[in-house]
């Protein structure tokens, strides 16, 4: 009945946010890696890892539409009992070029999922002999359980690209808004019996706003999740500073930018975030400071998150340098 796995740096996990994001980036291809460790105050930390890759396919100059394709993998492992989920998904999107810098995309996702739990490290009251805990006593419980299922999701996105996407300018505007729904088929995730997953609804808006001739940009973000009776609201902004512009035509001089931000997950946490961009690469770091009713037990410790992104901006590896650099 709880929420899906997700990341505080949700913009660095695009296919987990929206299947329609596949192929909409202002680069020939994009790859992301995410790692999150949380709730260390409760013993063994919960760990979430993810990776995704997406690119545009069959895109030709003068053609107003093309295909986007991608895949994503996520694994979540919780607590000493090792309650885990592995998800392997494929994404396909139809991307319509509405103008030189504006896209509309409709995408779908299908994923194979496996949930498992191992009781090897779990502790049971049946192993307490009245004086002390004896790990050698039988627990009366099974050794492990697992289940498998397929899952479906869909979404739409509206994207306006700006020149700052390739670190060459800092005075323009870009926008990325979208909505998606996951678990459309409401798969049964129970180890025994029935436990149909609630559909998850996402909505988000992310902007980049140039400050004229200044090297500073504002990047406000808002995201909303609803799953069953639960909801989550994230809002905040990055302040992005262009340290060094990339050469706009040759791309030989790689650009650099640094971003600092602060975000609020309503009634749950605040998390400062930092990002460093160099050419095709970006690394982000954030830390959740717990503010919910768990604070007396968590001691305000939430979770550390690290993300890595690669964007083939110049089409060096996947081609398409002219059509992508013109965005």
Write the pLDDT tens digit of every residue in 189-230.
Answer: 998 889 899 999 999 999 999 887 788 999 999 999 999 888
DSSP secondary structure letters along 99-125: SSSEEEEEEEEEEEEEEEEE-TT---G
DSSP β-ladder status, 173-182 and 200-210: antiparallel
Q: How do residues 248-282 score in pLDDT, each as one tens digit?
A: 655 566 789 999 999 999 999 999 999 999 989 99
CA gap 261, 269 in Å, rounded: 14
pLDDT of residue 178: 98
CB-count burial class (<10 Å; 0-12, 13-18, 19+) for 154:
middle
pLDDT band per the 50, 70, 90 thresholds, residue 171: low
Q: How do residues 72-89 score in pLDDT, each as one tens digit?
A: 999 998 877 778 899 999
Tell me what the mean pLDDT of segment 90-118 comes to: 93
Residue 248, Cα to own-chain centre: how many angstroms? 29
Tokens 């019996």 belong to 193
- Helix, strand, or coil here: 61? coil
Tokens of 66: 């093309």
CA gap 327, 177 in Å, rounded: 17
What is the DSSP secondary structure assignment for residue 246, as one 8-state letter?
P
pLDDT of residue 165: 57
Q: Does residue 13 carry a pLDDT above 90?
A: yes
CB 156 within 8 A of CB 203: no
Q: How do residues 284-309 score in pLDDT, each as one tens digit?
A: 999 999 888 888 777 777 889 999 99
**From the CB of residue 216, how many other CB atoms can be counted at a distance below 10 Å?**
13
What is the chain's mean pLDDT, rounded? Answer: 86
Tokens of 9: 């740096």
What is the DSSP secondary structure assignment for residue 318, as one 8-state letter?
T
- The residue length of the chain stands at 327
pTM for this prediction: 0.88
Q: Does residue 325 carry a pLDDT above 70?
A: no
Beta partners for residue 179, in sequence order: 156, 203
DSSP secondary structure letters along 250-302: T--S--EEEEEEEEEETTTEEEEEEEEEETTEEEEEEEEEE-STTHHHHTTEE
Identify the H or E element spanning 325: helix 321-325
Q: What domains appear along the chain, each with residue ranges and CATH number?
A: 10-325 (2.40.160.40)
- Helix, strand, or coil here: 17? helix
Tell me what the mean pLDDT of segment 143-164 comes to: 89
Cα-based torsion angle of the residue sequence 77, 78, 79, 84 in order, rounded to the nearest 10 degrees: -60
pLDDT band per the 50, 70, 90 thresholds, residue 182: very high
Q: Which residue has the higher pLDDT, 145 or 220?
A: 220
CA gap 193, 138 in Å, rounded: 25
Tokens 């990776």 belong to 51
DSSP secondary structure letters along 112-167: EEEEEEE-TT---GGGB-SSSB-TTS--SS-SEEEEEEEEEEEEEEEEE--GGGGT
Q: How do residues 30-43 score in pLDDT, each as one tens digit?
A: 999 999 998 877 77
pLDDT of residue 184: 97
pLDDT of residue 163: 67
pLDDT of residue 326: 32
Q: What is each CA distance from 294 to 39, 42, 291, 299, in whole angstroms? A: 10, 11, 7, 8
């Amino acid at each position: 009945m709880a929420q899906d796995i997700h990341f505080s740096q949700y913009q660095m996990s695009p296919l987990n946010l929206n299947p329609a994001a596949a192929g909409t980036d202002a680069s020939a291809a994009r790859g992301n890696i995410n790692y999150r460790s949380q709730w260390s105050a409760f013993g063994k930390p919960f760990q979430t890892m993810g990776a995704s890759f997406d690119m545009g396919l069959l895109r030709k100059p003068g053609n107003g539409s093309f295909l986007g394709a991608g895949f994503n993998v996520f694994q979540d492992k919780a607590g000493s009992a090792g309650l885990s989920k592995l998800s392997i998904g494929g994404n396909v999107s139809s991307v319509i070029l509405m103008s030189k810098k504006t896209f509309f995309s409709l995408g779908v996702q299908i994923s194979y999922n496996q949930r498992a739990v191992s009781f090897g490290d779990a502790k049971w009251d049946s192993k307490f002999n009245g004086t002390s805990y004896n790990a050698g006593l039988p627990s009366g419980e099974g050794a492990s359980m697992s289940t498998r299922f397929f899952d479906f999701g869909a979404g739409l996105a509206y994207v306006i690209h700006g020149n700052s996407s390739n670190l060459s300018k800092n005075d323009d505007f870009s926008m990325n808004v979208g909505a998606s729904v996951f678990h459309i088929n409401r798969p049964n995730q129970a180890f025994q019996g029935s436990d149909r997953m609630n559909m998850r609804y996402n909505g988000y808006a992310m902007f980049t706003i140039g400050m004229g001739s200044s090297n500073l940009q504002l990047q406000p973000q808002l995201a909303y999740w609803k799953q069953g009776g639960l909801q989550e609201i994230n809002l905040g902004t990055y302040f992005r500073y262009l340290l060094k512009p990339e050469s706009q035509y040759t791309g030989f001089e790689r650009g650099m930018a640094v971003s600092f931000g602060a975000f609020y997950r309503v009634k749950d946490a605040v998390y400062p975030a930092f990002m460093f961009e160099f050419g095709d690469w970006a690394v982000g770091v954030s830390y959740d400071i717990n503010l919910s009713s768990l604070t007396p037990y968590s001691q305000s410790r939430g979770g550390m998150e690290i993300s890595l992104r690669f964007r083939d901006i110049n089409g060096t590896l996947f081609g398409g340098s002219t059509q992508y650099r013109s965005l």
